[in-house]
Amino acid sequence: MNKNKKNVRVSKKDLTVVRFAGDSGDGIQLVGTQFANATAISGNVLSTLPDYPAEMRAPQGSLGGVSGFQVAFGDESVMNPGGKADFLVVMNPAALKVNIKYLDKGSVIIVNSGNFTPENLKKAGYESNPLEDGSLSNYRIISVDANYMVGEALKDSGLSQNDILKTKNFFMLGLLYWMFDLPIEVTVKWIDEKFAKKPIIRDSNKKVLYSGYNYAENTEIFDAKYKIEKGNLSSGKYRNITGNEAVCYALIAASKKLGRKCFYGSYPITPASEILHMFAKMRSKDVLVFQAEDEIAAVCSSIGAAFAGCLSAVGTSGPGFSLKSEAIGLAVISELPMVIIDVQRGGPSTGLPTKTEQSDLFLSLFGRHGDCPLVVMAALSPSDCFYSVYEASRIAVKYMTPVVVLSSGYIAQGSQPFKIPSNNELRNFEIFRPPSPSDFKPYIRDSKTLSRPWASPPLKGYEHRIGGLEKSNIEGNVSYDPDNHQLMTEIRKEKISRVSKEIPETIVYGDKNANALIVGWGSTYGAIRSGVSKAISNGIKVACVNLKYLNPLPDDLKDILKRYKKIIVVEENTGQFAYVLRANYLINVVSKTKVTGQPYTTEEILKIIKSECENFQEEK
Amino acid sequence: MNKLTPNDFSSNLPVKWCPGCGDYAILTSVKKAMAELGLEHEKYVVVSGIGCSSRFPYYVNTYGYHTIHGRAIPVATGIKLSNPDLMVFVMTGDGDAMSIGGNHFIHGIRRNIGLKVLMFNNRIYALTKGQSSPTTQLGSKTKTTPYGNRDYSFNPSALAVSLGAPFVARSIDSDLNLTSSIIIDAAKNEGFSFVEILQKCVVFTDKEFDVFKNPQTKEDNVLRIENGKPMIFGKNKNKAVIIEKEGPKIIEFDSSMPPKDLSVYNNSDINMARIVSNLMPPEFPLPVGIFLKVNKKSYENIYYEECYKEIDDFESLLKENSYEISN
């Protein structure tokens, strides 16, 4: 057992993708998250993708019950969780069967062979054991009987056989920490805190984690240790953050900057519920959270809070967003600020609750009765959820309008290192403060923004009545006057179009001489950026824009689109943004779409670029 | 500061209910109650849904929000939770609160959010011109029940009692003093207060409540419940509702010698409130007054006792699990 006896080769890589898979009861999301945090703390850039079934607990060992978690880590080139995995960690035969498609030949599969029992093989639909029948000969298999190992390690622990087996995920995690030379202390500390009140469980998990680490070090099963290139991140304080976490912190940051209470009204819905959980933990008198009886009550409570002067927000997903439509119209006609976060998932109806999609764009733009414009934005990445939601809050208050921020299951639950900004780096809020009570009218307008003043109870002298009935401009009394409705409809439209003044210059990334432009919006950012980078390094001239502002669109977009001979719109729906571009600019675009519930990968984008641009460049 | 008068609570807008509508009387009662409660204009917020009753906010000089159909309670909940010092009234109707807003009604009560909900019960959808509502009586003819209503109706006060509201009362639009005194008590009681006000619609349910208003029939058909008093009614004060093991019943007696053991109404007794709020004509007189008035800590008070932390800045929240990178 002497370390020095072993001759371990160290392979260097700038980007590695590890995929964990097992039964949904195997603690896959937990080890995945721990592994991701360890890579973050060692200075890597990373991106994660949880992939789990909608059922609470599908039958054990079944294909439907397989839960996955993918981590890509390395240097700055990591922009998304990657497509194919370099390493697959599988806890049972079903996990292998479901995930083998995510591997290229030659990749490494680390298997808990203890679960490859005849019964489990049968459940997964294997007629013979793939570990023995040669069907995996194109992969490198590292087989460890983690069930046996944890049994041995914990035989004197006093835990039941069942509880002992539950620790096997930590054994596998320990193996990987050795393999990638990651700091095991991160997880040791986490176990200490998580199981502080259960010393036996705490000590057992720690023992098993170290057992895995030591096993890897002491045996010959791994002939290589991998050294992953670290990112060249700018110095500062970081935190690995999911998109949903970033939403919560952004709203709190915005409310602090604004100097008002924060109000988050919501109803449980996958994949947005974590935002509600985060707020529920705050226990603060100025960060209010309200779990409503339904989606409608959630949005209405937030509208009430906005009327009462809070920075208010609602979070939901497609089905809930549909239910909120009527009330959002009330916020539009009342001209109250509100941030609506839609964490998109596969639709229509209940659809694919735990899978990602970008198919609520039309709903955001058009999904209300009447002429009912509002601002629509889309977050680009987990960490950009912070900046998008912060900016949405600022725009909502400045223009007195609801703002929709489209997130998606993928960036909401995926994580990324996030450099924590300081409060003074964040932009200030601008409010149209009501004039003196004698001059105050509910619908007087700021001449620049067309915003109306935000006067909330119990501000003395500003008592006024608003509501869903059309109001006369300036005075704010109920009005059925035809010309007034024409005017108010036009003002509401014009007010939203003036938000384009808030949009920074659109960044075109890629080859300056490109004739083809990939256009994406929101959460496809990482895949498109890295796909374009790869294409350029393959000698293809291509560029891309990744849009964050979808209504209004950036003023400079029209001219950018004109510069390219071919516009390829890539999105995770059946062509909604392509439709928007065609309608807005009367241009043709190529629409490339995907609705599998999985996010676009770098490889898929590269494939699109190759098929669309290589021939195209020859044609010229 | 001079005490405000009911007229100080009039807005400058013309009131546009039909002439003879019961809502005028309710408006008068509310303004009277607002003046007597002694709060300044800006401390009141009046929130409504959709329906004739829901035009109410435009007619009082306070903060007001005329929202969408059925949703006054959740909007008002957001306002009250944001600022518990505000006196938040919800003006709603039987269609708004019992039908499209039914879910919010039951959950508002479950939560015991401190809203003062006045439900104008005219037993009809009046604004949309005469369809049956959840309080339209069985057999009543309306535009959507031309052969008589086949739906059983809700008894809103009994429903509110059964759901656990700490304050439940019923009044009749024409009884201005009773209505305003009930509203004052409702406003002062912690938590969710529910006041059902029977309201005449001159167009569709003009005669609906006549039997409870007509001086000839009123005494025999209305039971005015008062805390600590026996439930005596009748033109000659010779009848009473008593509650026995088998249930409530009516007894008659010589009014000069009422029996000494008459059941005395106790509005802090939930069981009594359950029984009496369920009394309905024609078997029983219609009870009006305060059914229930008990202490129950409100949602907002529980909330702010539990949630006391000061969050100075978001950076401190993010510090947990953070790490330094120096390159």
pLDDT tens digits for A358-388? 999 999 999 999 999 999 999 999 999 999 9
| Same domain? A311 vs A182 | no
Shared domain check, A41 and A120: yes
Interface test with B, best of A310, A465, A472, A478 (most B CBs within 10 A): A465
- Contact of A521 with chain B, judged by CB distance below 8 Å, is answered with no
* Total number of domains in chain A: 3
**pLDDT score for A350:** 96
Q: What pTM was estimated for this model as a whole?
A: 0.94
Q: What is the pLDDT of residues B111-128, one digit of tens each?
A: 999 999 999 999 999 999
Q: How confident is the model at residue A280, as a pLDDT?
A: 96
Q: Do B311 and A284 touch (CB under 8 A)?
A: yes
**In the beta sheet, which residues pair with residue B64?**
A465, B46
Q: How far apart are CA B107 and CA A585, in angstroms?
A: 48
Residues of A whose CB is below 8 A from B41: 460, 463
Q: pLDDT band at A493, cuts 50/70/90?
A: very high
Distance from the B187 Cα atom to the nearest Cα atom in chain A, whole angstroms: 17
Measured in angstroms, the CA of B104 and the nearest CA of chain A are apart by 7
Q: What was the pLDDT predicted at A615?
A: 67
Report the percentage of chain A scoring pLDDT > 70: 98
Predicted pLDDT at A434: 87
CATH number at residue A364: 3.40.50.970
Over the range A243-266, which residues count as b (16 or more CB within 10 Å of their CB) and which as e? Answer: bbbbbbbbbbbbbbbbebbbbbbb
The last residue of a domain, from among A228, A254, A274: A228
Three-state secondary structure readout of A367-387: CCCCCCCCEEEECCCCCHHHH
Q: How many beta-carbon contacts under 8 Å exist across A and B?
A: 209
* A286 part of contact set with chain B, CB < 8 Å: yes
> Would the CB atoms of B311 and A310 count as touching at under 8 Å?
no
Element (H, E) at A403: strand A402-408
CATH code for the domain in which residue A601 is found: 3.40.50.920
Say how far apart CA A483 and CA A620 lie, in whole Å. Answer: 54
Q: Which residues of A touch B109 (CB under 8 A)?
A: none
Q: Which residues in chain B have their CB less than 8 angstroms from residue A36's CB?
A: none
Domain with B142, as residue range(s), is 6-208+297-305
Residues B134, B140 contacting (CB under 8 angstroms): no
User: Do residue A14 and residue A158 come from a single domain?
Assistant: yes
| In A520-568, alpha helices (H) | 525-537, 557-562
Are A249 and B317 a contacting pair at CB < 8 A? yes
Above 70 in pLDDT, residue A488? yes
Residue B67 to chain A, least CA–CA distance (Å)? 5
Determine the length of chain A.
620
Residues of chain A contacting B4 with CB distance shorter than 8 Å: none
Flag whether residue A131 sits within 8 Å of chain B, measured between CB atoms. Answer: no
Cα separation, B102 vs A301, whole angstroms: 16
Are A204 and A253 contained in the same domain? no
Mean pLDDT over the full length of chain B: 96
pLDDT in tens, A315-341: 999 999 999 999 999 999 999 999 999
Same domain, A201 and A280: no
- What's the token pair of residue A492? 């509401």
Contacts of A334 in chain B (CB under 8 A): 65
Question: Would the pLDDT of A2 be above 70?
Answer: no
Residues A153 and A69 in one domain: yes
Domain count, chain B: 1
Comparing alpha-carbon positions, the chain A residue that sits nearest to B58 is: A465
For testing contact with chain B, the best of A233, A248, A293 (most B CBs within 10 A): A293
- Same structural domain for residues A132 and A168? yes
* Reported confidence tier of residue A295, pLDDT bands at 50, 70, 90: very high
Rounded to 5 degrees, φ, ψ at B85 are -75, -15
Instruction: Classify residue B223: in a domain, yes or no.
Output: no
Q: Do A282 and B314 touch (CB under 8 A)?
A: no
> Cβ separation of B321 and A477 shorter than 8 Å?
no
Whether B238 is covered by a domain: the verdict is no
Which residues are within 8 A (CB) of A618 and not within 5 positions of it... i.e. 6 or more apart? none
Structure tokens at A12: 């260097």
Q: Do B41 and A463 lie within an 8 Å CB cutoff? A: yes
Partner B contacted by A194 (CB < 8 A): no
- What the block records as the tokens of A619 is 């044609």
Give the pair of three-digit tokens for residue B309: 């932390």
What is the Cα–Cα distance from A234 to A236, expressed in whole angstroms? 6
- pLDDT grade for B1, boundaries at 50, 70 and 90: low
- Final residue in a domain of this structure, among A185, A209, A228: A228
Q: Which one of B62, B68, B327 has the shortest CB-CB distance to A468?
A: B68
A476 reaches B (C-beta below 8 A):
no
A119-154 pLDDT, tens digit per residue, is 999 999 999 999 999 999 999 999 999 999 999 999
| CB count in 10 Å sphere of residue A86 | 18
Contact A256 B61 (CB under 8 A): no
Across the interface, whether the CB atoms of B327 and A233 are under 8 A apart is answered yes
Q: How far apart are CA A491 and CA B302, in angstroms?
A: 43
Q: Is residue A92 part of a domain?
A: yes
Q: What is the CATH number of the domain that holds B160?
A: 3.40.50.970
Per the CB < 8 Å rule, is A300 touching B322? no
**Strand, helix or coil at A561?**
helix
Contacts of A420 in chain B (CB under 8 A): 315, 318-319, 322
Residue of A40, A459, A478 with shortest CB distance to B58: A478
User: CA nearest B322 in A: which residue?
Assistant: A239
CATH number at residue A94: 3.40.920.10
Chosen domain end from A425, A445, A462: A425
> For residue B60, what are the β-bridge partners?
B10
Q: Is A237's CB within 8 Å of B327's CB?
A: no
Domain that holds residue A54: 3-228
Q: What's the confidence (pLDDT) of residue A1?
A: 39
Q: Average the pLDDT over A212-220 and give the result.
A: 89
In a domain, B90, yes or no: yes
In a domain, B120, yes or no: yes
Residue A211 shares a structural domain with residue A252: no
- Answer whether residue B162 shows pLDDT above 60: yes
Of chain B, the percentage scoring pLDDT greater than 90 comes to 94
Check CB contact of A13 with chain B, cutoff 8 Å.
no
- CB contacts under 8 A, A 228-247 vs B, are 232-240
Measured between beta carbons, the chain A residues lying within 8 angstroms of B50 are 468
> Does residue A492 sit within a domain?
no
pLDDT in tens, A458-486: 999 999 999 999 999 999 999 999 999 99
**Cα gap A564→B186, rounded to integer Å:** 68
8 Å CB contact of A297 and B79: no
Please determine, for residue A6, whether its predicted confidence score (pLDDT) is greater than 70: no
Shared domain check, A164 and A42: yes
Beta-sheet pairing, A9-13 with A224-228? parallel
Give the gap in angstroms from C-alpha B46 to the nearest C-alpha of chain A: 9
Q: Do A312 and B321 touch (CB under 8 A)?
A: no
Do the Cβ atoms of A385 and A247 come closer than 8 Å?
Answer: yes
CA distance A45 to A193: 26
- pLDDT tens across A572-596, in order? 999 999 999 999 999 999 999 999 9
The yes/no answer to whether this complex scores an ipTM above 0.85 is yes
Give the pLDDT confidence score for residue A5 in this predicted structure.
Answer: 45
Q: Judge whether A305 is closer than 8 Å to chain B, CB to CB.
A: yes
Q: Does A283 touch chain B (CB under 8 A)?
A: yes
- Is residue A213 located within the same domain as residue A137? yes
Which of A286, A420, A468 faces B315 most closely, judged by CB atoms?
A: A420
Whether the CB of A311 is below 8 Å from some CB of chain B: the reply is no
Nearest to A173 by CA among A44, A51, A363, A22: A22
Distance, in Å, from the CA atom of A546 to the CA atom of A357, rounded to the nearest integer, reads 16
Task: Indicate the SS3 state at residue B60.
Answer: strand
On the question of pLDDT at A505 being above 60, the answer is: yes
pLDDT level of residue A418 (50, 70, 90 thresholds): very high
Say whether both A362 and A285 belong to one domain.
yes
Distance between CA atoms of residues B190 and A211, nearest Å: 59
Q: Which residues have a Cβ under 8 Å from the Cβ of B169 and sit 6 or more positions away?
A: B157, B182, B185, B186, B193, B194, B195, B196, B289, B290, B291, B292, B293
Same domain flag for A148 and A264: no
Instruction: Please indicate, yes or no, if residue B325 is contained in any of the structural domains.
Output: no
Residue A128: other Cβ atoms inside 10 A? 10
Lowest pLDDT segment from A48-52, A161-165, A184-188, A498-502:
A48-52
Which residue of B66, B77, B318 is in closest CB contact with A420? B318
C-alpha distances out from residue A202 to A157, A495, A529, Å: 11, 57, 42
